[in-house]
Every structure is written in C-alpha cells, then in structure tokens.
Amino acid sequence: MTPTQLLILVAIIVLVRLVVTLRPVPAGGGDKGKAFAREYLDPFIIAGVAAWLLITFVARTYYIPSGSMLPTLQIHDVLLVNKFEYRFHQPQHGDVVVFPPPLPETDDFIKRVIGIPGDTISIHGGIVYRNGQALKEPYIAAQPDYKLEIRDYGIYVDNGGGFQPIDPHFANVPPKAMWTAPDRIPPNCYLMLGDNRNDSEDSHIWGFAQDAGTFATGPRAGERAGFTGRAVVVFWPVTEARALQR
C-alpha cells in the first residue's frame, strides 16, 4: 500500500468516526455509537496515522517484480527500504537503491549504485572500471555483454555494432552545460546497473538517475527526481531473510 492509499483509508475511517459521533441520539438512550468509535475506530486512526508517518518519512516495504537484480534479489522477495538515511548523506557506491526512473513508469526501480557524481566509468571485456580501477563484483549474475563509456558529455554504449551515444530524447543525459568534465558523471547524477547485467533495464539504456532537482532530458524531463531509499533487509520469504551489503 502506498502512502497516498493509506492516507485515503485513514481519511475514510475519520469520516466514519465523525458520522458515528455526530449522528443524533434518542433521548434517554445510550450512545453505543460513540463507544464503538472510541473502542474500534480511534485505534485504527491512530495506527493509520503512525503507519503513514513511518512509510512516508522512515521506511517502507518493496516487492521485487522482476529478475533484474538476480542473484542478489529474487523475484517475489520483499524488502525493507530505509527512506531516512539519504536525508543525511547521498547514495554511496554499492548501495542497492529504490528510485523513480527517468522513464514513464508508475513503479520505482531498484538497482545498484555503480557511479556517483565526479566518477569516470567504463565497461570493457565484461569488467566495470571506476576511476580507472577494475571493480570486483561477486554479486552479478554474469559479466555484461556490452561495452560502455562516459565521454564527450554523454553515455556511449556498444552492443556489438560499435559505440553509439544514448539519445537524450529517450534517456536522462544532461546537456553539456550541466557537466563539470566531459568524461565524469555530472552533479546529482548516478549510474545505476542491475546485478543481472544482461537482463536489466538500467543506466546503459535510460541514462542517469538523479538524487535531486528535475530530470534534465528524456520522457520525464522537468519532472521531480530523487531517491526513495536504500534497500537494507530482505525479510520475506523468511528462509531467505538477510541484510543487504554494499
């Protein structure tokens, strides 16, 4: 249940509470309606408001609908997402993050942070290089079968037919004026990849995620960007419960 849906449910219960409380009571009759409201409706209202505050500002659950993060996350896993952490610091390398993508999607995506603002990133021979250093990635399903380079104020991907820039009309790739260097990730931008590299709709397709502001280009240009939170714990199924490591 989303925060908005929960708030609507609480509002309905509050309305019922008002109707029960304010309805006329026959003279000399006991007001069973008010007793019912106090005993049953008030606790629901208090619990609902507390839950809304919790999932809006602190933490919420997230269901895994696809295999883009295999083997780290299985389809149907349920996670606890910490929404509070990024109020104090920005996402870090290796974080598994839930966020709205720069695509016209109703659901958030979940990917791993590979590059943060100021990083250089390239992928060659199935290896990700960050700031010139090869990454050790024991968490991936298989090495990526594509090449990638951040250069010339863009993201260039080679799927076997030579390097081509990702089109800003269909992806979030900020214009040159928003970059600090032609080969470094721009401010507020993050390169996000799924652990199932060859079956993941991620930054090698739709460009950068953002931690603030509005998407610079692509289908959601001008819409608010940000991060929902960091996935910290898998709690369902119980047999697979575990903390997620960077």
Stretch 234-239: mean pLDDT, rounded? 84
User: How confident is the prediction for the chain on average, in pLDDT?
Assistant: 86
Inform me whether the pLDDT recorded for 80 exceeds 90: no
Buried b (16+ CB within 10 A) or exposed e, 151-169: eebbbbbeeeeeeeebebe
Say which amino acid occupies 39: E
CA dihedral sign of residues 80, 81, 87, 92: positive
Nearest residue to 113 (alpha-carbon basis) of 210, 196, 190:
190
Q: DSSP 3-state assignment of 168?
A: coil
Q: Is the pTM of this model over 0.85?
A: no
What pLDDT is recorded for position 27?
A: 46
Say which amino acid occupies 157: V
Ranges 80-89, 115-124, 168-177: which has the least confidence: 80-89
What digits encode the pLDDT tens for the residues 146-188?
Answer: 999 999 999 999 999 999 999 999 999 999 999 999 999 999 9
Decide if 203 contacts 97 (C-beta within 8 A): no
What pLDDT is recorded for position 62?
A: 85
> How open is the CA angle 53-54-59, to the nearest 5 degrees?
140
Domain ranges within the chain, ordered by starting residue: 3-57, 61-243
**Distance from the Cα of residue 2 to its chain's centroid:** 13
Stretch 226-244: mean pLDDT, rounded? 87
Q: Which residue has the higher pLDDT, 182 or 17?
A: 182
What pLDDT is recorded for position 221?
A: 96
With bands split at pLDDT 50, 70 and 90, how would you rate the model's confidence at 136? Answer: very high
Q: Which residue has the higher pLDDT, 192 or 17?
A: 192
CATH homologous superfamily of 61-243: Umud Fragment, subunit A (2.10.109.10)
Tokens of 139: 């968490």
Edge-first strand order for the sheet with 127-130 is 133-134, 127-130, 121-124, 147-151, 154-158, 164-165
> How open is the CA angle 48-54-58, to the nearest 5 degrees?
170
Q: Which residue has the higher pLDDT, 246 or 141?
A: 141
CA distance 205 to 25: 64
**Residues taking part in catalysis:** 68, 111
What digits encode the pLDDT tens for the residues 188-217?
Answer: 999 999 999 999 999 999 999 999 999 999
Stretch 100-123: mean pLDDT, rounded? 95
Q: DSSP 3-state assignment of 154?
A: strand
What pLDDT is recorded for position 74?
A: 93
Percent residues over pLDDT 70 in the chain: 79
Q: Which residue has the higher pLDDT, 158 or 63?
A: 158
User: Residue 60: which H helix or E strand, with range?
Assistant: strand 59-63
Percentages helix, strand, coil for the chain (3-state, rounded to 5) are 25, 25, 50
What pLDDT is recorded for position 6?
A: 60
The torsion angles phi and psi of 111, rounded to 5 degrees, stand at: -145, 175
CA distance 245 to 14: 41
What pLDDT is recorded for position 47?
A: 63
> How open is the CA angle 68-172-130, to the nearest 5 degrees?
65
